[in-house]
Every structure is written in C-alpha cells, then in structure tokens.
Amino acid sequence: MFGFIKEKLNKAYQAVTKKLASLFTSKPIDQAWLEELKVILLAADTGPIITNKIITYLTKQMKAQSLSGQQVHDLLVAYLQSLLPPPGTEQQPIISLIVGINGSGKTTFIGKLAHKYAHDGKKVLVVAGDTFRAAATDQLAAWTTQSGTSIHIGKPNQDPSSVVFEGCAQFAENKFDHLIIDTAGRLQTKTHLMQELAKIKRTIHKRLPEATIHTWLVLDSMLGQNCIAQARQFHETTKLTGLVLTKCDGTGKAGFLLNISHELSLPIVYITFGEQVDALASFDSNRFIEELLKS
Ligand SMILES: Nc1nc2c(ncn2[C@@H]2O[C@H](COP(=O)(O)OP(=O)(O)O)[C@@H](O)[C@H]2O)c(=O)[nH]1
Ligand SMILES: [Mg+2]
C-alpha cells in the first residue's frame, strides 16, 4: 500500500491502483466515470459510507462546474486529506500506552519505537504490562536489549496495573524521557479485560498526573474493515488518542483507515512494514493518499 513496499503487493491490488491512476486521464468525466471510481474505491477497502461521501462530494462539484480529470483528482486528494485528522505535536515527557488485540503487532511496534527514541538520544523505559505470558516479557526484553533501552518487568501474573504503577515510579525517579507500556492482547468484546485497561489508564493518571499520555491502538492492516469494531470499542473504554497501523508490507488494503480516522477523529501516528527494527515510519497523509490513488 506504500510505494517503498509496492513490490510486495499482490497483483490484484496493483491492478486496482493502476486502474485508479488511469481513471483520471480517461474521458469523459461523467456518471459512468463516477461509478467506475466507486468500484475502485470499494476495492481499496474504503467501505460504503466513506465511498458514498466521496462520490456525493465529487458529484456536487462536477455539477457546479466542468472539471478536468486532473481537477477531479486534486479535489479528491484534498477531500481525502480532510478526512484524516493531523497528529498532535509530541510534548515531553511522554507516556505511550499501547493497546490492541492479540497478534496485532503491539510488542514488535514497541520494540521499534523504543529503538527509534533511543536513536534520537532519548532515555526510554519500557514496561512489560503483559504479565499473562512469560514469552511476551522475553520478547519485549529481547527488543530492549537490542536497542539498549530499559525495561521494567513485574512478577508472573502480577496485576498489570501494579506493574504499570511501579514502572511509572521508576520513570519519574530516574527522569526518563519516554515511558512505553506494553499490554496483553485482548478482544474488544471481553468486558473485564477492557475494564482492566481502563484501570491501567487510571493508574497512570494517578501516579503521573502532569504527563502527556498517549493511548495508541495497534491495528493489523491485514484485518481491513474488521478494525473498525475494534477501534470503536477500544476508544469507548480507553479514550484512544491515536492509531498505529502494522504489517503494511502485507496485502491488506488501507482504505478502511479513512473510516476509523474520520469517525473517531483519531490520527494515525505510525505505520510498520516488516519485522526489522527500522521497519517503522511516522504516518504521512500525503503519501498515504498518493499511494492509495496511484499505482
Ligand atoms: N510482516 C510483518 N509482521 C509483523 C509486523 N509487526 C509485527 N509482525 C509480526 O506479527 C506477529 C505478532 O506480533 P506481536 O508484536 O507479537 O503482536 P502482539 O500480540 O500485538 O504483541 C509477530 O510474528 C510479528 O513478528 C509488520 O509490520 N510486518
Ligand atoms: Mg505482545
């Protein structure tokens, strides 16, 4: 879905994006053209609601004035931009609470993020808040060893909130710049597990009332529209502040992000595109839209 990983995209998706690029040079720009655009957008997983919004908007613009393919393209790009809230500026010190379902890529993302912050000269503490599985802690510890960052580990099966409380204390005492908290994966439909997340968040607020707290939901791009229900539920319980999109090196289509980002007014903060430590990038909306529309 992004240029630098394009070669990994499957043929079907490449066909869709190529079709979209050629659409703007084809003529005439009329009702049949709009229908074709609609089919292509749906195939890019933008979902029916956002797709209809786009088509309604363009229809209105085309009725008001005669437009060239390039003008329609520019209107479409500007409209897509308006659907994506810009990420806020980061103030230090920063706490990032990372949440999401099992296997979405939370721990891997945290490993990369800690590495990035350390590379930027920041002092980083990671908290192993997934106390259910010893393997989860080992996985996180391997990442922090690689990046030379610090990790706080609780006891096996310790209440995650109490591990987070200890991590917050260490963070304050040792004047770290970043605190990144890993959490156990959970399905958004498991109420008690979702309440546990809300408790973790209350714990952070209580221990570090002055700090900026990010709550980022990690979404597996391969899951497409299924991510919308996840985002709604996590947002309801934990008041999310941003989204992280993982596995962009796969064949998932990113159009669904427009739905979530727009409906919940949440910025996409990072994308990941592989298992290597540097397969992480800040989200770039211009590039995202460009890649969504071009081959
Ligand atoms: N291809 C690819 N695999 C990833 C990416 N991020 C995570 N993974 C893999 O996805 C699996 C689950 O990741 P993990 O970080 O353990 O997920 P968690 O359960 O949310 O902590 C692991 O096998 C990761 O190596 C990515 O950006 N691209
Ligand atoms: Mg994990």
60: pLDDT strictly greater than 90: yes
pLDDT number for residue 27: 72
The CB of 249 under 6 Å from ligand 1? The reply is yes
User: Does the Cβ of 186 fall within 6 Å of ligand 1?
Assistant: no
42-56 residue pLDDT tens: 888 888 999 999 999
Indicate the pTM of the whole model. 0.84
pLDDT at position 92? 63
- Residue 112 CB–ligand 1 contact under 6 Å: no
Minimum mean pLDDT range among 6-15, 108-117, 273-282: 6-15
Taking the centre of ligand 1 as the mean of its atom positions, its distance from the CA of residue 47, in whole angstroms, is: 25
- Give the DSSP per-residue string, the chain: --GGGGGGS-HHHHHHHHHHHHHTTSS--SHHHHHHHHHHHHHTT-HHHHHHHHHHHHHHHHHHS---HHHHHHHHHHHHHHHSPPPPPP-SSEEEEEE-STTSSHHHHHHHHHHHHHHTT--EEEEEE--S-HHHHHHHHHHHHHHT-EEEE--TT--HHHHHHHHHHHHHHTT-SEEEEEE----TT-HHHHHHHHHHHHHHHHH-TTSEEEEEEEEEGGGTTHHHHHHHHHHHHH---EEEEE-TTSS--TTHHHHHHHHHT--EEEEE-SSSTT-EEE--HHHHHHHHH--
Q: Say yes or no to pLDDT of 294 above 70.
A: no
pLDDT mean over 194-203: 94
Choose the residue to mutate in 275, 278, 283 for probing ligand 1, maximizing ligand atoms within 8 Å of C-beta. Answer: 275
**Atom of ligand 1 lying closest to residue 250 CA:** 1
Q: Which ligand minimizes its atom distance to the CA of 221?
A: 1
User: Could you tell me the domains of the chain?
Assistant: 3-83 (1.20.120.140), 94-283 (3.40.50.300)
